[in-house]
Structure 1
Amino acid sequence: MNEMQSTGSALVVYSTISAKEALIDLVPRFEQQSQSKINITYTPAPTLIKQIRAGTRGDVFIGPEEYAGPLFEEGILLTGSRVPFARSATGLAVRAGTLPPDISTPAKLKSALLAARGVSFSEGASGMMFVKVLSEFGIADAIRAKFVAPQPGEMIGSVVARGAADIGIQQISALLPVAGITIVGRLPDELQEPIIYGTHLFAQSAQQDLAQPFVNFLRSATAIAVLTKSGFEPA
């Protein structure tokens, strides 16, 4: 099914959900500034990629390079159209009111993970990075045995907030909006693989010229201030 939803009257944007908190602030600002209209949909990354591969199309895809790369190879995104605009670090959260573990070093993070009764992490870019960390620690099987999967559409922070997991691992930008948790901090720097967000044009879009002002806006001083407040860093 080819859901070509670009209408010519509005820019159709599909974004992974981790960028939502910044974009729900930025999109109205851009619309007011440019007198343009944007129809934006936020979806968890694995689900969104499946939808795009099944035929969903628009004008702009926003997400990490880990997901955009294969879509370029498949000819879905326009070659050379990637423009990075933000980076996000991965952090650890616990339920509000509980004693936060020391995660200042890789060894202390490993101990905290082994001591937890339940650990939750996403299938998105931060989860892919975290699985590598578990393998490096040699505790992948031990953590998988106490993995707590989020419910469909549920944020990792919400799993922790309702007490289903002691520890949640996700991008800090996705943890910040969740009530009922304490963000302990970033994972140690030597374990970080920054997740780089970019804008990408769909190859079939008839509005590529109209998309460019939005792409530029996401790299503006206004956007950088909002992104920083939302847990991102400029790319």
Structure 2
Amino acid sequence: MANVLRLLSTLALKGAVERLAGHYQAATGTRLDADFAPTVGLLKRLQEGEKADVLVLTREGLDELVAKGLVAPASRIDLARSYVGIAVKAGQPRPDISTEAALRAALLAARSVAYSRIGASGIYFAELIQRLGIAADVNARATITAGFTAERLIIGDADLAVQQLSELKQVPSVEIVGPIPLGLQTPAVFTAGRTASSEKVARRPMLS
């Protein structure tokens, strides 16, 4: 029977982890037992005592655990960067979001905007609409959700979905409009590390 490595990962890297899991098992003989959720949710679960061998979180989230002695500092490695973007259901009009003014108009014109308040992208978006002065208008019609926000496009709950581009791409039958103007955001960095309590060693192929 293969050895098992328990992995808790942010949703943003779910697609990449699932694609690499089989290669990792073939190369190392170790099966990944992976679970995916927003970083904030994973941090809460870890604080409540859930155990794992390897974590993939936002850099800020992982650094928090390193500072508390819960993640081995030398194991920390940056895996990916991602920007927050907007998606629509496939075949629907794609609004102009290329400038701050255009983005503001698109958000105000939407019947509803789907976003998550517990993920890194949702926390950023809540702050962004506050800075743009449209938080009350957007939130009055917003679809607040967990998991992949673009799924709410498919069932008709929202016209626009906001999330990391890597997460939007994992939902079929939606189209990426593009990133929120880069001048309004900084990329999220996703970082992996081994928990200090783990007696297992994550071999390099999983992180390559």
Question: What TM-score, normalized to structure 2?
Answer: 0.91
What residue is the counterpart of 1:155 in the other structure? 148
The percentage of counterpart residues that share the same residue type is 33
SS of the residue corresponding to residue 10 of structure 1 reads strand
Count of residues in correspondence between the two structures: 206
1:79 is aligned, of 63, 73, 84, to: 73
Q: Is the 8 A contact 2:56 2:192 kept in 1?
A: yes
How far is 1:218 from its partner? 2.2
Structure 2: distance between partners of 1:35 and 1:155: 31
Using the TM superposition, give the Cα deviation of residue 63 of structure 1 relative to its aligned residue in structure 2, in angstroms. 1.5
TM-score of the two chains, using structure 1 as the length reference: 0.81
The residue type paired with residue 21 of structure 1 is G
Match of 1:229 in 2: none
- State the Cα deviation string for residues 188-217 of structure 1 (Å, max 9, x = none): 11112211111111111112xx21424xx4
* 1:38 corresponds to 2:29: no
Secondary structure in structure 2 of the residue aligned to 1:86: strand
Aligned to 2:103: 109
- In 2, the alpha carbon distance for the partners of 1:89 and 1:109 equals 15
5+ residue gaps in structure 1?
A: 1-7, 220-235
* Cα RMSD for the two superposed structures: 1.8
Match of 1:198 in 2: 191
SS of 1:185's partner is strand
Alpha carbons 2:111, 2:159 under 8 Å: kept: yes
1:185 has 2:182 as partner: no
Do 2:38 and 2:147's aligned partners in 1 also have CA atoms closer than 8 Å?
no
Q: 1:134 to 1:218 in 2, by over 3 A?
A: same
The CA distance in 2 between the partners of 1:27 and 1:179, in whole Å, is 21
Maintained 8 Å contact 1:66/1:125: no
CA distance in 2, matches of 1:66, 1:140: 25
C-alpha separation in 1, matches of 2:74 and 2:204: 17
* Structure 1 residues 145 and 69: CA distance shift in structure 2, 3 A: farther
